[in-house]
């Protein structure tokens, strides 16, 4: 923003102007004046802000009362951050707010949007107040802008971090769900795998299976990958390692449901197929497992 | 560190109770084969339940033990490899090829009995 520096010889200007970075030290006269103004006009500015939020169709997931209540908290935290120059309380508030609104479906652009709107509303009120003293307005803005930018940044980053945390949690939950280890007979486990396996999921799968073998004292495991469309060489290697590690625990692994693409990948990476016990489909795999365990399944005699 | 070797009928049970140095491993290998000869054992179980790490030397020594015992006409079964150890081993490429493994002592004995019955 272009600034017209007039009257630079004035001693008051020398005192208050703190370099091109423009970050006024907390407790400086200008900053106190700014904060006082914001506190004095609290009611009107909050209402204007809430009005502009609704006008911009932000926070549609929330009621007018909820918006006003949150607006009040944000406003007060905002002013306090301006006053103290410390942002920890604001960061904590931003996280807390995010935790509450994300499940309601509030998006990042909405949160960033409302903070920027507040910045605008407050800036406009400063323009209005100091419109007769352009020099003073410039100095006030020098105090206001860096702090306001940092606040917007803090809130946005807090929100995004909270979303990332939730996404990680959900990914973890999905992984847990996706690889159940199921006992279908004494000493026989099935591991049906569905979807995409990345190296991390492959590793988690192996750990879960090995623990399952030990807990259930399994002698045979059928790993069914019918539901896996494709697998890269890294993951195919993980699968081979899973088979080998299971053997170290005394369990035989039968892999079933290999798609043509996966069969190709395994041949391409040069796996010693003597190590891999594979059967076409899950049914065949279970039947072979039962034979290995010494079961024989016979139909009950039909009454003639 | 001596590895205790106990006789159980036609079989020997050796329980590794703590991490063994390379020298301990070589001593164990010699002691075990001597016992197999002295007792005319038909099978040996090496229980590594207490080991939380298995390096390449230990892995190789176990393979050599199995080979030596096979030359005496007997079977070896390694039992009790922990899941975390198994995982680490396969990542290092230590697969104990051609060595029988079982989940625990009970499974190991069942395996040996089955093997000796089929060759009887």
pLDDT < 50: residue spans in chain B: none
% of chain B at pLDDT higher than 90: 85
Which of B48, B59, B83, B99 to mutate: most A Cβ within 10 Å? B83
Residue A302 lies in a domain: no
Looking at chain B, the whole-number percentage of residues with pLDDT higher than 70 is: 98
Q: Which residue of A has its CA nearest to B93?
A: A241
The number of helix segments (H) and strand segments (E) in chain B equals 4, 5
pLDDT at A64: 84
- pLDDT per position as a tens digit, A13-25: 434 444 444 444 5
Same domain, A137 and A45: yes
pLDDT on residue A7:
43
Q: Say if residue A71's pLDDT is above 90.
A: no
Mean pLDDT of A36-65: 89
Q: In terms of residue numbers, what domain contains A264?
A: 182-293
**DSSP states along chain A:** -------TT-HHHHHH---TT--PPTT-HHHHHHHHHHHHTHHHHHHHHHHHHHHTT--TTS-HHHHHHHHHHHHHHHHHHHHH---HHHHHHHHHHHHHHGGGT--HHHHHHHHHHHHHHHHHHHHHHTTT-HHHHHHHHHHHHHHHHHHHHHHHHHHHHHHHHHHHHHHHHHHHHH---EEEETTEEEEEEES---HHHHHHHHHHHHHHHHHHT-SEEEEEEEE-----HHHHHHHHHHHHHHHHTT-EEEEE---HHHHHHHHHTT--TTT-EEESSHHHHHHHHHHHHT----PPPPP-
Q: What is the pLDDT of residue A177?
A: 67
Query: Does residue A5 sit within a domain?
Result: no
Number of other CB atoms surrounding residue A90 within 10 Å: 21
- pLDDT-derived band at A247 (thresholds 50, 70, 90) equals very high
- pLDDT at residue A261 greater than cutoff 90: no
Report chain B's mean pLDDT, rounded to a whole number: 93
Closest among A120, A122, A136 to A30, alpha carbons compared: A136
- Does residue A6 sit within a domain? no
Give the distance, in angstroms, between the CA of residue A228 and the centroid of all CA atoms in the same chain. 26
Closest chain A residue to the Cα of B77, Cα to Cα: A250
| B82 contacts in chain A (CB < 8 Å) | 214
For β-strands B11-15 and B5-8, DSSP reports them as antiparallel
The residues that bridge with B101 in the sheet, in sequence order, are B78
Interval A273-295: pLDDT, tens: 777 788 888 999 999 999 999 98
Predicted confidence at residue A176, as pLDDT, reads 65
Model-level pTM greater than 0.80? no
Q: Are residues A44 and A154 in the same domain?
A: yes
Q: What is the pLDDT of residue A11?
A: 40
Once rounded to an integer, what is the mean pLDDT over residues A185-212?
Answer: 89
Indicate if A160 and A45 belong to the same structural domain: yes
Going by pLDDT thresholds of 50, 70 and 90, the confidence category of residue A6 is very low
CATH number at residue A32: 1.10.490.70
Pairing of strands A182-185, A188-194: antiparallel
Tell me if A244 and B87 make a contact (CB, 8 A cut-off): no
Residue A303 has pLDDT above 80, yes or no: no
**Inter-chain CB proximity A250 and B101 less than 8 Å:** yes
**Domain co-membership, A94 together with A224:** no
Q: What are the chain A neighbours of B54 within 8 Å (beta carbons)? A: none
A10 confidence band (pLDDT: 50, 70, 90): very low
Residues A155 and A207 in one domain: no
**Residues in a beta bridge with A221:** A189, A253
What average pLDDT does range A53-80 have in this prediction? Answer: 87
Classify domain B5-119 at the CATH topology level: Transcription Regulator spoIIAA (3.30.750)
Looking at the structure, tell me whether residues A165 and A267 fall in a common domain.
Answer: no
User: Does the pLDDT value for residue A9 go beyond 60?
Assistant: no
Structure tokens at A37: 């103004």
In degrees and rounded to multiples of 5, residue A223 shows phi and psi of: -100, 115
The enclosing domain of A279 has a CATH number of 3.30.750.24
Please, what is the end-to-end C-alpha distance for chain A in angstroms?
97
Mean pLDDT in residue range A71-76: 87
CA-wise closest residue to A51 among A170, B76, A231, A59? A59
Range of weakest confidence among A7-11, A111-115, A139-143, A230-234: A7-11
Mean pLDDT of chain A: 83
Q: Where are the domains of chain B?
A: 5-119
SS3 B23: helix
Q: B interface toward A at CB cutoff 8 Å?
A: 78-79, 81-83, 85-87, 89-91, 95-96, 101-104, 107-108, 111
Calpha distance A233→A265 (Å, rounded): 6
- Whether pLDDT at A73 is above 50: yes
Q: Which span out of A3-12, A258-267, B9-18 was modeled with the highest average pLDDT? A: B9-18
Query: Are B104 and A211 in contact (CB < 8 Å)?
Result: no
Number of folded domains that form chain A: 2
Model confidence at A252, pLDDT cuts 50, 70, 90, reads very high
Distances B102 to A133, B67, B110, B113 between C-alpha atoms, Å: 88, 17, 9, 13
């Amino acid at each position: 923003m272009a600034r017209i520096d007039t009257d630079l010889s004035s001693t008051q200007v020398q005192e208050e102007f703190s370099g091109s970075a423009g970050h006024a030290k907390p407790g400086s006269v200008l900053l106190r004046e700014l904060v006082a103004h914001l506190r004095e006009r609290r009611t009107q500015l909050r209402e204007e802000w809430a009005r502009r939020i609704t006008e911009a169709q932000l926070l549609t997931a929330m009621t007018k009362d909820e918006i006003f209540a949150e607006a009040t908290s944000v406003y007060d935290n905002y002013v306090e951050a301006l006053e103290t120059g410390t942002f920890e309380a604001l960061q904590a508030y931003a996280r807390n707010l995010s935790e509450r609104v994300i499940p309601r479906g509030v998006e990042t652009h909405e949160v960033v949007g409302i903070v920027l709107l507040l910045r605008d509303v407050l800036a406009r009120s400063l323009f209005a107040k100091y419109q007769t003293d352009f020099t003073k307005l410039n100095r006030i803005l020098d105090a206001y802008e860096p702090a306001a930018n940092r606040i917007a940044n803090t809130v946005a980053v807090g929100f995004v971090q909270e979303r990332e945390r939730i996404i990680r949690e959900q990914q973890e939950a999905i992984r847990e769900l996706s690889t159940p280890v199921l006992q279908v007979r004494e000493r026989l486990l099935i591991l049906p795998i569905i979807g995409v396996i990345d190296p991390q999921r492959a590793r988690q799968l192996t750990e879960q299976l090995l623990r399952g073998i030990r807990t259930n004292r399994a002698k045979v495991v059928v790993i069914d990958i019918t539901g896996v469309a494709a697998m890269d060489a890294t993951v195919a290697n993980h699968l081979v390692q899973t088979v080998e590690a299971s053997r170290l625990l005394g369990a035989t692994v039968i892999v079933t449901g290999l798609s043509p693409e996966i069969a190709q990948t395994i041949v391409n990476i040069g796996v010693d197929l003597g190590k891999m016990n594979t059967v076409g489909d899950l049914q065949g795999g279970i039947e072979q497992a039962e034979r290995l365990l010494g079961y024989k399944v016979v139909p009950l005699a039909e009454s003639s | 560190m001596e590895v205790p070797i106990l006789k159980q009928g036609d079989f020997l049970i050796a329980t590794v109770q703590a991490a063994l140095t390379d020298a301990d491993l070589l001593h164990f290998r010699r002691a075990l084969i001597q016992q197999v000869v002295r007792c005319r054992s038909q099978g040996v179980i090496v229980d590594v339940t207490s080991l939380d790490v298995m390096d390449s030397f230990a892995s190789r020594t176990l393979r050599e033990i199995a080979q030596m015992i096979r030359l005496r006409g007997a079977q070896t079964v390694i039992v009790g490899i922990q899941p975390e150890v198994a995982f680490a081993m396969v990542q290092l490429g230590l697969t104990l090829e051609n060595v029988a493994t079982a989940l625990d002592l009970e499974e190991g004995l069942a395996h040996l009995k089955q093997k000796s019955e089929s060759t009887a």
